[in-house]
Amino acid sequence: MREPILSAVTFLPVLGAVVIALLPRGRAALVRWFAFLVAVATFAVSLLLYAGFDAASADYQFPERLPWMPSFGISYHLGIDGISLLLVLLTTFLSPLALLSSWRAVQDRVKEFSITMLLLETGMLGVFVSLDLFLFYIFWEAMLIPMYLIIGVWGGPARIYAAIKFILYTLTGSVLMLVAILALYFQHGAATGTYTFDLPVLAGYVVPGGSQVWLFLAFAVAFAIKVPLFPFHTWLPDAHVEAPTAGSVILAGVLLKMGTYGFLRFCLPLFPQASLAFVPWIFLLSLVGIVYGAWVSMVQPDLKKLVAYSSVSHLGFVVLGLFTLTPQGIVGGIIQMVNHGLSTGALFLMVGILYERRHTRLIADFGGLWKTIPAFSALFMIVSLSSLGLPGLNGFVGEFLILVGAFAWASGPSAAPAAYLVPVLATSGIVFAAVYLLWMYQRVCFGEITSEANRGLADLTGREWAVLLPVLLFIVWIGVYPRPFTGMTEASVQALITQVQSKVAAAPGGR
């Protein structure tokens, strides 16, 4: 019998949190090191998933299934495919780095902070590995509480406002999704006689066209808020600005991907006809988000707000790629989820490093940093170029594949003549990204030293090198040789496209 690796990866952080709860409150250094080592151990165990994953298979791998509440069709069902594998690895990779980045930034309630971060990691991993809708919803809701606490307890001056806004937005979407899950459960039971929350079983059921639209909308709003897709994005800048650096890294690196993952895992296979019917609207919102996020980023005086709004733009690209329903677009969307987690996570880490030294995030308070902290400035340049999609770095791979998929969609037989406007307008987002990122970098690192406080800044410490270098390694690796990452997704993506097309064709009036 195969060992329960997924359960080990998912619940190892919880075990670590329980041990930390038993440690003396005054031993902050011990708590920090133990939490960090638990997160590193979780990443090490998760590498077994990559090593044992069969990239040629589209089936769910490392399956675990135990009856939980069988009379209600609820089971403890875990599994991953090429769509979820990279997101699990991204979560376990960023979590120890986020904890390491908080070494100096979090001084109060270190024990509680470490416990909260580890519980958050388990909640995020559970979302990506659950194959039972009831279990998925439990993890989806459970991970909201730790992030709410991270923002509300360890955040900035307006942390309470940002935390409440975050929880209200996400809970609203969650309630809609819960209603849709129950509706799908009862509808499938009435039609087949089998009441179940099992995702592979439900994915084989063709939801009637009339209810498909409403169920799709309920799921889609929940995921759109999490992405966040325009116009559901307004909670994100507040949450990012007020969250501590570690919270911003996890929020941008992992939590936002739960929305795009939800579109891919649930909306497309469960409601394919409705998904195709709403493609023009999804594309419109994605394009608005791409352009709007870039334009608003240009005028931000605060470094952290600039990076936060850039997420709205970059994740618009991801959603666009997923709904092209082309192999290039979906693979590009999945890789771009990972790329955004690495590049934007690194940007938040570097903004946090500056804030620890100057206690300001205003772009106007910097200038000439290349003369005083050249190592930081050099790494900051690489990360900024990665975020804007420079060839040879990771951002280019995802955006290129998404645009290829968008042009392939626009060339399809059912596309309207004006369909080419979609990839053309999306491409403008790359131009705008270059504008706001390079202009920001010029004002922060080049020119004369505009503030005397910047002359005595210390360059990167050993701990900060340890945080940044692993991220930079993957930024370059994916940019130069993406095959080990894209190759893991291709079989699952092709199976998803085939499933959607066959269900649409089999439905009454299908094509």
Look up the pTM and report it: 0.91
Domain chopping of the chain, boundaries: 297-480
Q: How far apart are CA 65 and CA 275, in angstroms?
A: 29
Q: How far apart are CA 52 and CA 50, in angstroms?
A: 6
Which amino acid makes up residue 419? A
3 pLDDT exceeds 80? no
Q: What is the pLDDT of residues 133-180, one digit of tens each?
A: 999 999 999 988 999 999 989 888 888 998 999 898 888 889 999 999
Biggest CA-to-CA distance, the chain: 74
pLDDT for 507 = 65
Give yes or no for a contact between 140 and 171, defined as CB atoms under 8 angstroms apart.
no
SS3 of residue 155 by DSSP? coil
Residue 1 — very low, low, confident or very high, per pLDDT cuts 50/70/90? very low
CB within 8 A of 469, min separation 6: which ones?
A: none
Q: How far apart are CA 156 and CA 162, in angstroms?
A: 9
pLDDT for 219 = 92
Instruction: Give yes or no for a cis peptide into 231 (omega within 30° of 0).
Output: yes
What mean pLDDT comes out for the span 312-329? Answer: 91
Q: Tokens standing for 337?
A: 């989820």
Mean pLDDT, the chain, rounded, equals 89
Q: What is the pLDDT of residues 339-351, one digit of tens each?
A: 999 999 999 999 9
Q: What is the pLDDT of residues 13-34, one digit of tens each?
A: 999 999 999 988 888 889 999 9
User: Interior CA angle at 221 toward 216 and 222, to 5°?
Assistant: 105
2 pLDDT exceeds 80? no
The C-alpha R_g of the chain, in whole angstroms, comes to 22
